[in-house]
Structure 1
Amino acid sequence: MQDRRAASPLATTNGEDTNMKIAFIGLGNMGGGMAANLVKAGHSVRAFDLSEEALSAAKDAGCQTFSNAREAVEGVDAVVSMLPNGEIVKKVYTGDVIGHAPHAATLIDCSTIDVATAREVADAAHAEGYKMVDAPVSGGIAAAAGGTLTFMVGGEKHAFDAAEPVLSAMGKAVIHAGDAGNGQAAKICNNMLLAIQMIGTAEAFSMAQKLGLDPQTFYDISSVSSGQCWSMTSYCPVPGVGPQSPSDNEYKGGFAAALMLKDLKLAMEAAKRSGASTPLGGHARELYEKFAADNGALDFSGIIKTL
């Protein structure tokens, strides 16, 4: 009789068999580190990306590589994807994953895409009998490589339960946000708030300096006062102030301004669809559009340079 434990995510919870066969589609700056952490956790990873360089790096990290997504998803227990946008996510899942991966496999999309497409793809998966979650991440490239991402997960409870062991191997926190699409909703709301927060922090430091306050002195005061926020105390946009951040490396690395702009565009699209009022989110999008036009590769905290 065939041993079915390795083909079931439930095998990760009974202490008998923690190894799973996982397809990973999309091995860019984030996906490459995430796939490597799945290998470190003892899983067998079947990797695919259009980039030969990304495939080579994945192979060096211990992944088995494939020339197309359909081959990668054959016989797996789970599929994880980290792709650039909703159009590509929909194309990959409807064309290469649904109907080609085993129906017992759990489908996990970690891309940041629009809520409507996330729900459309989940509906298509459910219609064919698959469990699927949207699980966008917070944490950036360093967290992806270090296995300290936070996952915001949308999907039915049984799908979340099946996905959690996979996600836990790549992150420090896995949080169920509710039904399909709610992971994306949490991500774009969070990043809209982060963008607004960073602009406010940059404005405050810039004005403090113009008024004659030393940046470190202002940090010492505001970081223990009512103006305290993550953008100040964990990711200060002023070089040499607070914990080390991209500002200490000429705003290189971290979370690219172009990616922040992408998330703000998704947030404004969702606000329009839902009828939400987001005047500060809209203004943040305008400011990041101007900044990212010439500085898209720089960290989003570099927006202080425009002030």
Structure 2
Amino acid sequence: MLDAIGDQILYVGEIGAGNTAKLVHNCASMIIRSGIAEVFTMGVKAGVEPAALWHALRQGAIGRARTFDRVGDRYLQEAFDPPSFALNLANKDLRLALELAEQFDVPMRAARLVQEDFQEALDRGWGNRDSQTPLLLQNERAGVTIKLSADEVQGVLDRG
């Protein structure tokens, strides 16, 4: 029966865990797509042709990686030092992007929320840590600890 509605059947835990995993996956998908639409409208309104912009996004470091694999490198392991891209530098780029959006009158609701977290992380002195460090703020707000070992992350990646 499950094969009829999905292309991969995975066991994620006891009864109800599958539904939770599905909701988490679908919600992440919706948030990511909304964020892409936000930044895409900024790029197009600033004069970049849509196909060229999409190509550039796909060829960037994040665009070439599987989105969910990237969170295993830093966030899921709480491995923010040394940074691959320092929060200070990411914040500069975010600020410049928001300035560009303002120049072209493009609303950037999601990016402004990210900016708030970046600012809080900077206020805590995390500027020289990795740009994923602000994700820890959500853990704090939710009252959870998320930390996998490198072997646990690799084990998930190895399963495909």
Coarse TM-score class (shorter-chain normalised): 0.3 to 0.5
Structure number having the greater helix percentage: 2
Output the TM-score relative to the length of structure 1.
Answer: 0.23
Structure exhibiting the larger radius of gyration computed from Cα positions: 1
Structure number having the greater strand percentage: 1
Output the TM-score relative to the length of structure 2.
Answer: 0.41
The higher-RCO structure (CA 8 Å, 6+ apart) is: 2
